[in-house]
């Protein structure tokens, strides 16, 4: 009888199934996407989102709300995979998703148009990425956005001043040479050395001097100076994102997929205002090439202080 029941189902039903989909879990992306079910409600919402995404006017943000376990994190994760069109188990995410839309040609067409726009998805749970950043800090939310963006660029997100040091070297096309010089001086890769920056100060100074043609003595406190000078505002962040987008292919988009924003912000009006300002600044600087898609248990209209640009 058990064998007969198993034969009824197309997929194995006796395997372990996670009760909650985690945005940052990449262990079974292909399976999650393959088994995702597009309900009528999700299809309607997807159509609205894709219309806005494909025909940018003034909006660059999406607020996905629903009670715990309603599937908002799952939807967020699927959108991140599909828009970037990642390759999963030898197949493109958009191809897997399109198979679910065979009887909805209009929605499939909108999806294919969206996927044709080159993009990068940065998907993260904001509370997990916050590290020890206090929510009482005036720039707490901005610090998380800056961190995940730095990491996506290949820079050291845990220390913004080191990330800025790397970004400046990259801008001068010296980062690769610096990595090589540091490896030769310290006997370890820069990705490890930057985690022990204080102990590696002499090697950092030597490597920096080598690639810039300067004196190691003048560079002995280079990271200390960066720590003092690095201050990031929301406007600075938006300009940095715009500069990075400009380095990519034409019409490129950078999409931030932020899980559990509502839980992170709670009733903190300042954090909510900062989120709004980040979205507006990205919209002003990037003109639709940088989007923010978030999830929350609360509906947008119920969040204190929020007047969304969406």
pLDDT band at residue 152 using 50, 70 and 90 as cut-offs: very high
Residue 310's pLDDT band, with cuts at 50, 70 and 90, is very low
The pLDDT confidence band at residue 188, using thresholds 50, 70 and 90, is very high
Q: Average pLDDT of 39-55?
A: 91
Residue 49's pLDDT band, with cuts at 50, 70 and 90, is very high
Query: Which tens digit of pLDDT belongs to each residue from 104-134?
Result: 889 999 999 999 999 999 999 998 888 655 5
For the residues 250-269, what does the mean pLDDT come to? 89
Name the pTM for this structure. 0.85
**What is each CA distance from 282 to 196, 233, 290, in whole angstroms?**
33, 12, 6
Beta-strand pair 119-125/290-296: unpaired
The arithmetic mean of pLDDT across residues 2-11, rounded, is 62
Q: Where are the domains positioned within the chain?
A: 14-139+233-302, 154-229
* Fold type of domain 14-139+233-302: Rossmann fold (3.40.50)
CA neighbor of 144 nearest in space, from 270, 37, 275, 236: 275
d(CA 199, CA 106): 59
Q: What percent of the chain has pLDDT over 90?
A: 56
Q: What DSSP state is assigned to residue 268?
A: -
Q: What is the rounded CA–CA span in Å between residue 294 and residue 272?
A: 12
Q: What is the pLDDT of residues 51-82, one digit of tens each?
A: 999 998 888 999 988 788 778 888 999 999 99
Residue 138, token pair as written in the block: 């005036």
**Nearest CA-CA partner of 129 in 111, 117, 141, 113:** 141
pLDDT digits (tens, 9 = 90+) for 127-137: 888 865 556 66
Q: Reduce the DSSP state of residue 8 to 3 states and report it.
A: helix
What's the mean pLDDT in 3-14?
62
- In the DSSP assignment, the letter for residue 19 is S
pLDDT-based confidence at residue 10 (cuts at 50, 70, 90): low
Q: Which two tokens stand for residue 185?
A: 């001086």
- Per-residue pLDDT at 70: 77
Can you tell me the distance from the alpha carbon of 280 to that of 220, in angstroms, rounded to the nearest whole number? 40
Q: Which tens digits make up the pLDDT trace of 261-284?
A: 888 887 788 888 899 999 999 999
- pLDDT of 304 > 70? The answer is no
In sequence order, what are the residues at sequence separation of 6 or more whose Cβ sits closer than 8 angstroms to the Cβ of residue 304? Answer: 267, 269, 272
């Amino acid at each position: 009888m058990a064998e007969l029941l198993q034969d009824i189902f197309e997929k194995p039903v006796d395997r372990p199934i996670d009760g909650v989909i985690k945005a940052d879990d990449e262990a079974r992306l292909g399976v999650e996407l393959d088994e995702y079910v597009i309900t009528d409600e999700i299809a309607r919402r997807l159509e609205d989102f894709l219309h806005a995404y494909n025909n940018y006017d003034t909006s660059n943000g999406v607020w996905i709300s629903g009670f715990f376990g309603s599937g908002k994190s799952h939807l967020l994760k699927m959108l991140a995979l599909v828009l970037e069109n990642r390759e999963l188990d030898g197949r493109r995410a958009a191809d897997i998703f399109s198979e679910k839309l065979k009887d909805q040609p209009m929605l499939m067409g909108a999806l294919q148009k969206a996927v044709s726009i080159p993009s990068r998805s940065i998907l993260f749970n904001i509370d997990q990425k916050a590290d020890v950043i206090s929510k009482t800090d005036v720039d707490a939310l901005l610090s998380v956005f800056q961190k995940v963006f730095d990491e996506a660029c290949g820079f050291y997100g845990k220390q913004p001043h080191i990330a800025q040091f790397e970004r400046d070297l990259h801008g001068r096309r010296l980062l690769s040479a610096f990595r090589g010089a540091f490896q030769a001086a310290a006997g370890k890769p820069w990705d490890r050395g930057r985690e022990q920056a204080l102990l590696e100060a002499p090697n950092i100074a030597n490597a920096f001097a080598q690639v810039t043609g300067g004196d190691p003595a003048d560079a002995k406190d280079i990271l200390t100076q960066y720590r003092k000078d690095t201050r990031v505002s929301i406007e600075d962040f938006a300009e940095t994102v715009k500069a990075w987008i400009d380095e990519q292919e034409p019409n490129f988009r950078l999409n931030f997929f932020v899980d559990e924003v509502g839980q992170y912000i709670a009733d903190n009006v300042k954090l909510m205002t900062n989120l709004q300002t980040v979205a507006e600044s990205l919209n002003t600087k990037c003109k639709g090439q940088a989007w923010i898609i978030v999830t929350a248990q609360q509906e947008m209209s119920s969040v204190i202080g929020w007047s969304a640009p969406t």
